[in-house]
Chains A and B, each alone.
Chain A
């Protein structure tokens, strides 16, 4: 841990050394060039197939606004809604819609257009305009609706004629699905014109291609793989890293079918050497995880053990008797996931457990699958984040009841006790910046706040 602390210090120091421009007040102008790994085929935040990919670095915020936004501390702040209030019972909410806002096609934002957008995003809600306000009637008490409305799928969008328009700080100038997106700053943006004139986003670029683009001066902002963060800093690059936010875990495709299988899952969890995975395979690019949500978001994750206990694992496996084993599935396009999956299979074998890769599985075999998943933190609001992750994985919806200080802990404990997931690590996301990128702002989850970025070389 001390070594990693020094490493983090180095990351920060590096950033401080390089981030000294000739001026403090932001400059207007210039084109910001970004390279990312994901290659979304759609820009529509309501497209459920794309949300995970395009939401990760917060790029959707360039085009779209939500009624409410979360600040860096996870507290709800006004965006397209200037204020809100709930009826007793928290089932019926009213949001006052901001005046003077226009979609990128010039159409004025209205309570009707907001209601139409939200109805499309969640057909379970009854949403209607009431003068300058929008009323949302949920199917159950929803005390944290403002935080829920900050999710990308609740972006306010105008759809029609095959076109998509948002009210965000940038307008879509060119869109080659999965390849390139060019955005232009909107002079009339209600939150103030962004500092850069335009943003060009190259998509579907590997980490290696991105670093080369940065080194050749063809990109200003690139992603860095967590396991490459330390190397990137040692090579003198200007690297910014998030808090450990991206969750990596084993997820079983079905509930445990017997007490014995439950014990085997417990043995598997005890057999995994998360510290070695983090220190060796990830080069300190994360933190061992015993929970779904990271400790910096909840404050209680340390209560859940992350240490390997092979002896205990063997004992439990012995008590449970032999099992059929599992097939371990990981993303074939993710080399890091493949390596970690192989390490977990070795750990399991040391405990007498069988984890097979799909290619080694006899076709006649009927064993339960377990997947190695990587999921970005969906929200800086802990309750929303837990609910979203649970929904994504098909886990029971968390219940938040009782003592406010205890309810989140109780809800997450219940999810973990279901034995559907085995947390592995929380990964940091890292970003490398060229020397002329100024005003960099990043949320703890690694989301970028690009409208405030400006370029040192930009001229008005």
Chain B
């Protein structure tokens, strides 16, 4: 048995960190994001196709035409054409007008479901048309950052992988660590030489099948490094380097607040929502409608909560009443962020819809009414998770990029404009 046909995932890091401090490291990531990802390397394919063409024609005079029948841009097509001419010339081809050419070659840059396919149709006076082709895999497209708005919501890439990401947490320390929670494991990474190095992957044991639309949350522990909550399962780290983890079946409520706004909610282990049972409760309120997500709205000494309910509406719990807000048209994921801008805390909300793109928008909650406080941050894919960080200073979002199929986790922070 030699040929493994299915490979386990190979995590792919978006960009390296550049500082020992996590905060500045994340900032550096944001800067690095502006640098386009390396373009696909066509050189091998150009050389290979040129070789096949010359093998068919010999080093003759030829006329070359390049047609783009793929999703490649016009500029890329021009580059490929130029490089192909160079490669052919290196192999002895000379280029002349079609009427003087011993061979006319039409190269079509085509593609199929998985690959680019470059096809050369070679016409020589006395022979039938011959066909040569090369294929090369497609790489992922580039992402583009949105422009800044008055209250600026910034996206800082954290991690990208093919497997669904449930949550990501970056833990300050020396060295800094990053935890990536997915349906099968919790993987710890250590910051070393400006790169996240995989440290260990801890399997998550569970006795029941995961529900579809699986969710999970990482919480920084008070007396341990972290706790991971998944439907019907609680995993807890112990002391050690790297930290070991124990998972067990549990219906314990999940912490949904922050270090400053503590609230626990029971998660329905066979579904994708919280049941509405709250502990210790919001003031006197210990039950609420079933909800997908919640956002704290601190006002002085009191903390109210917004719930994105399963019924599609937004509920405002102020400790004694449950009011349904009519205005906001939000998606099912909301989170709050302590920015220091405006009222101090803002609410992040996904957009409604189940389309191929999503957006996160910032809202100030004045009284009970959320008011948009900046331009939406567009995301090229559907957001599958949005959690307030334990510190409350940011939120972690995960989106599935429909074009690449990868899950991309990023940190969302708010700055007070320029």
Contacts and interface: CB of A to CB of B under 8 A. Distances in A.
Interface of A: 16, 19-28, 71, 73-78, 83-88, 90, 94, 100, 146, 187-195, 295-300, 302-303, 380, 382, 404-406, 409, 438-439, 444, 451-452, 456, 459-460
Contacts of A444: 113
A382 B353 contact: no
Contact of B113 (A73, A88, A404, A452): A73
A84 B117 contact: no
A314 to B, nearest CB: 23
B209 A100 contact: yes
B272 interface: yes
B134 interface: yes
Contacts of A84: 5-6
Interface string B109-146: 01111111101010000000001111100000000000
B331 A74 contact: no
Contacts of B214: 192
Task: List the 4 closest A-B pairs by CB distance, nearest first.
Answer: A192-B212, A299-B117, A25-B332, A24-B331
Contacts of B70: 299
B202 to A, nearest CB: 19
Contact of A406 (B113, B132, B310, B329): B132
**Residue with the greatest number of chain A CB neighbours at <10 A, chosen from B132, B133, B210:** B133
Nearest to B106: A303
B5 A85 contact: yes
Nearest to B108: A302
Contacts of B290: 460
A76 B6 contact: yes
A87 B332 contact: no
B209 A192 contact: yes
A189 B209 contact: yes
B357 to A, nearest CB: 10
Contact of A303 (B121, B292, B308, B313): B121
Contacts of A193: 209, 211-212, 270
A189 to B, nearest CB: 6
Interface of B: 1-6, 69-70, 108, 110-117, 119, 121, 131-135, 208-214, 268, 270-273, 290, 292, 308, 310-313, 329, 331-333, 350-355, 358, 382-383, 405
A250 B6 CA distance: 39
Nearest to A410: B131
Contacts of A189: 209
Nearest to B309: A23
A451 B2 CA distance: 35
Given A77-B6, A83-B4, 5 more contacts: A25-B333, A85-B4, A86-B1, A87-B1, A299-B110
A448 B112 CA distance: 21
A83 B112 CA distance: 26
B209 A88 contact: no
A192 B166 CA distance: 15
Given A28-B272, A76-B6, A299 B115 contact: yes
Contact of A299 (B119, B209, B292, B329): B119
A75 to B, nearest CB: 7
Contacts of B382: 24
A75 B313 CA distance: 39
A75 B211 CA distance: 24
A382 B114 CA distance: 11
A94 B115 contact: no
Nearest to A195: B212
Given A23-B352, A24-B383, A90 B3 contact: yes
Contacts of B111: 299
Nearest to B45: A405
Contacts of B209: 100, 188-193
B352 A405 contact: no
Nearest to B209: A190
Given A24-B358, A100-B209, A439-B354, A296 B113 contact: yes
B310 A460 contact: yes
Contacts of A296: 112-113
Nearest to A243: B113
A460 B273 contact: yes
Nearest to B356: A16
Given A452-B212, A460-B273, A20 B353 contact: yes
A26 B6 contact: no
Given A20-B353, A303-B131, A439-B354, A25 B272 contact: yes
Contacts of B270: 187, 193
A22 B355 contact: no
A408 to B, nearest CB: 9
B117 A300 contact: yes
Contacts of B351: 24
A82 B132 CA distance: 37
B112 A382 contact: yes
Contacts of A78: 6
26 contacts: A19-B353, A19-B355, A20-B353, A20-B355, A21-B354, A23-B331, A24-B353, A24-B358, A25-B333, A26-B212, A26-B213, A75-B114, A85-B4, A90-B3, A195-B212, A295-B110, A296-B112, A297-B112, A299-B119, A299-B135, A300-B133, A382-B113, A438-B354, A439-B354, A460-B268, A460-B290
A146 B5 contact: yes
A456 B331 CA distance: 13
A444 B111 CA distance: 15
B119 A300 contact: yes
**Residue with the greatest number of chain B CB neighbours at <10 A, chosen from A20, A100, A187, A405:** A405
A298 B211 contact: no
Nearest to B8: A83
A27 B310 contact: yes
Contacts of A16: 355
Given A28-B271, A75-B114, A76-B5, A22 B211 contact: no
Contacts of A83: 4, 6
A279 B392 CA distance: 58
A27 B6 CA distance: 33
A300 B133 CA distance: 9
B6 A24 contact: no
Contacts of A459: 310-311
B331 A405 contact: no
A75 B5 CA distance: 11
Nearest to B115: A299
B114 A73 contact: yes
A295 B116 CA distance: 12
A199 to B, nearest CB: 15
Nearest to B332: A25
A451 B209 CA distance: 15
A188 to B, nearest CB: 6
Given A74-B113, A85-B3, A191-B209, A25 B133 contact: no
